[in-house]
Structure 1
Amino acid sequence: MTDLLTPMLSRTWDSERSWSLAAYRDKDGYRGLHAALSMSPADLIGLVKDSGLRGRGGAGFPTGMKWDFIPKDDGKPHYLVVNADESEPGTCKDIPLMMASPHQLVEGVVIASYAIKATHAFIYVRGEVASVYRRVLAAVREAYDAGYVGNDILGSGYSLEIVVHAGAGAYICGEETALLDSLEGYRGQPRLRPPFPAIAGLYGSPTVINNVESIASVPVVVLNGADWFKSMGTEKSAGATIYSLSGHVQNPGQYEAPLGITLRQLLEMSGGVREGHELKFWTPGGSSTPLLTAEHLDVPLDYEGVGAAGSMLGTKALQVFDETVCVLRCVLRWTQFYAHESCGKCTPCREGTWWLVQALARLEAGDGTEEDLDKLLDLCDNILGRAFCALGDGATSPITSSIKYFREEYVAHFVNGGCPFDRAASTLFASDLLASGAAL
């Protein structure tokens, strides 16, 4: 594994008007599409499978294998749906990608649709991010005008229609079957599986649902080949990916690097933790993944390495927190988000997340006891694996992991009768101070 940053998805980001078709073409844009249309759909799927490309939305499922699940010659319409409803706290890779290089996504959509023999594709964008919606929509229109989308694409005989759909701003619609219900005009709630979307997805037809980064990675795989892609990353986690570094770091931002790089290496590239402070805890894949600490700085950031450390790579949202942060207060804020965003379909999540907030708030205020701490863990145990979708499980992850590594900090709250941290010393509490009129 190389330790160098790898501009693959981000190769056009430093171009003037990087979002334009002209800028994208200057950096080999749509050359992958030309190559893909010269192949059979079966060979194209085989290429993506051979590359080892895994889904970049969190689960890490092999992309080519997901495409191959679509029934062959079943006589039904096939659909491609791109999940661009990025909304988990700390996750911020797909939105920058779509803002800086929307044509990277559009080209991937056309190639993927051709591979699964879809004639209609949908890009489901979080409607609250209106600037992203407008940019993707403009890129799709440019692609239509240039002959990359529409009827008889590049004279190949293949035709595709792309719809850019703006969601109403619900975290649950990041769950793929809830997204399908939303697209069909229903309330966004997860579906019972089986049947899986590959058999009965959008409008009851075979459907592939992929994350933005997964689809945007396809053009470079097709253009450069499977062996080139596998030359980066690790044996089981091939290629490069976008790591979102945020929080108490000198230079937060998007860092595209091979899978298997470590947080220590990324911190060296980003200038390290903010001056005068030290790392306390961090998330490897967004707020729904178990926390890690400074002892995990050298864990390889790939699916296997992070899994072995007791967490999940997820969306590669690396949120870094220094010693000024109260871990209990941080976890409480995340849990309030999950309780608010629960769709309410199943009892463990609907009721469980509400009770998690009550227990955490009591503990954070210094009114809890050791019994409350045990009850909090019991609540998590009753939610984990019993919710209809992964939202409930994700809500428990930061709680159980933070108690595992920082139990004494939880205890300090009810021993001291309140939070032992100075709110003025941490940016985590900035909004509290502003609300109270205090000076920062």
Structure 2
Amino acid sequence: MSELLEAVRSGASGRELAEIDLPTRYRAAFTLKDEVGIFEGQEDKDVRRSLHVGEVEMPEIAPDECVVAVMSAAINFNTVWSAIFEPVPTFTFLEKFGRQGWYGARHDLPYHILGSDAAGVVVRTGAGVKHWKVGDHVVISPSYVDEEDHGSYDDGMMSETQLAWGFETNFGALGEYCVAKANQLIKKPAHLTWEEAGSNTLCAGTAYRMLVGAHGARMKQGDVVLVWGATGGLGSFATQLVLNGGGIPVAVVSSEEKAEIVRSQGCEHVINRSELDLGEGGLRSPKAGRILGEAIRRRVGEDPGIVFEYLGRETFGASVYVAKRGGKIVTCGSSTGYKHEYDNRFLWMRLKSIIGSHGFNYHEAVQVNRLFGLGMIHPTLSRSYPLDEAGEATRAVQTNQHVGKVAVLCGATAEGQGVTDPVLRERIGEEKFHLFRR
């Protein structure tokens, strides 16, 4: 255990932290380049085989970067992709980045430190950092944007060089320390614990851009929004954002247990898809859209104006069908398969739109964290693991043995640490933070 991390844990001031040497090595969770291919020909690509925890070198930081002592990180599905080396090994990204001079060359290593969500304490700032200082409590946005790319000034996601931190870059969240650009840092919501604060930004920011931001569906008050996978990382935040914005969420889940979780968030209209009589074809059968549409109209009296899509192949045909005339299907992923099939007549003849959405820009990340800070939306954390069990945490996400979000305690020694505004937390009510732990 480094002296610096111990000081962070004890609540040392920024001045005190700045006087303690940065360690030359630290513990982190990583994959190894020489293990690419270990899952070839295997049906069960168990990430516990490929995700290792051990010591790594502390990199030199660039003028626009900070070192953050990570108190807690989160598992997202991109960590699963990294650990199974699909759809391409992430070392391919690191090699490409490595061709961009010394700044990028630091990332091209035989190991890849993963993780795209984190909360922690700034312990070092680069010479060019202006707005952050040692001792600041922060969360980290995974959107890694080059300020010299003109596209980023219109929208950070329009930058051709935009990367996903901890997936397409090295030195990610799953370690005692991480390295991030200053324009990734966001003030930590003061009433949240480390594990709660560190589990939100990637999924909540993605849902915010899809539903609320100027680049997505631009939901308005009274809009009916169909939310697939409403207890997943994305869906659990989408439901809250719809409710908070005056919309009417219709949540789709796979069990009555999950339906109860969504109802506890305040969602009145829930569809348990296991109770729909879809036949052998399931949601991909030709009649699925009609059956689902009838179920939605029975609950809210109309078709959804927005469909929140990220499941892809299994659900996309039904999504296009059920959206109302002029409705929008906004999609950010395809977890059940990338090649979608849908009847295009229902798209063009009823004037519907498909909106592609990916990640979120810095402004959107700040805005969604502001909603957390105001207590208007809440974390959906279901479980935390210690850093030594990062492989187990990733396996839980890989096999869908979880609801909401899964955290990894890196520098924090236990759950419940990091709250600096207990008054707001008490006013919100402790039960709001434990809905997904049932």
Q: TM-score, normalised by structure 1?
A: 0.25
Q: TM-score, normalised by structure 2?
A: 0.25
In terms of fraction of residues, the more helix-rich structure is 1
Point out which structure has higher relative CO (alpha carbons under 8 A, 6+ apart): 2
